[in-house]
Amino acid sequence: GENVEQHPSTLSVQEGDSAVIKCTYSDSASNYFPWYKQELGKGPQLIIDIRSNVGEKKDQRIAVTLNKTAKHFSLHITETQPEDSAVYFCASRFNDYKLSFGAGTTVTVRA
């Protein structure tokens, strides 16, 4: 099955700085890559997603890049704010109906 590795496991950044989380996937047939944010006591919330026919996608302070050749994709958060503190999960979809998730990155934004 699909294997997704996510790094780093924890990330501490100063407010206003950028944060970058990287994921690699194993199956070249994977075609959909979402990112989720999970706050304490809540379920994961979709923040951005990208399909394999697109190299980059941006939504305000959040961007995702995809390198199909290297089989990795990254989440970039610019101008971080305290409310960005959460656990972030990357995922990839190998077949149509299930996602394989990375282990998560705990992001802490220091004021």
Partner 1 sequence: KAGVTQTPRYLIKTRGQQVTLSCSPISGHRSVSWYQQTPGQGLQFLFEYFSETQRNKGNFPGRFSGRQFSNSRSEMNVSTLELGDSALYLCASSLREPTNEKLFFGSGTQLSVL
Using CB under 8 A, list all residues that contact partner 1: 1, 32, 34, 36, 41-46, 49, 89, 91, 93, 95-104
Nearer to partner 1 among residue 67 and residue 103 (C-beta):
103
Q: How many angstroms separate the CA atoms of 111 and 104, rounded?
A: 22
Least gap, CB of 3 to partner 1 (angstroms): 12
- Strand ranges (E), the chain: 4-7, 10-14, 19-25, 32-38, 45-51, 56-59, 62-67, 72-77, 86-93, 99-101, 105-110
Comparison of 69 and 96: residue with beta carbon closer to partner 1: 96
Residue closer to partner 1 by CB (options 18, 95) is 95
Give the residue among 2, 1, 9 at the shortest CA–CA distance from 103: 9
Least distance from partner 1 to the Cβ atom of residue 104, Å: 6
Least distance from partner 1 to the Cβ atom of residue 29, Å: 14
Q: How far is the CB of 59 from partner 1 (least distance, A)?
A: 13
Closest Cα to residue 27, out of 9, 48, 10, 52?
Answer: 52
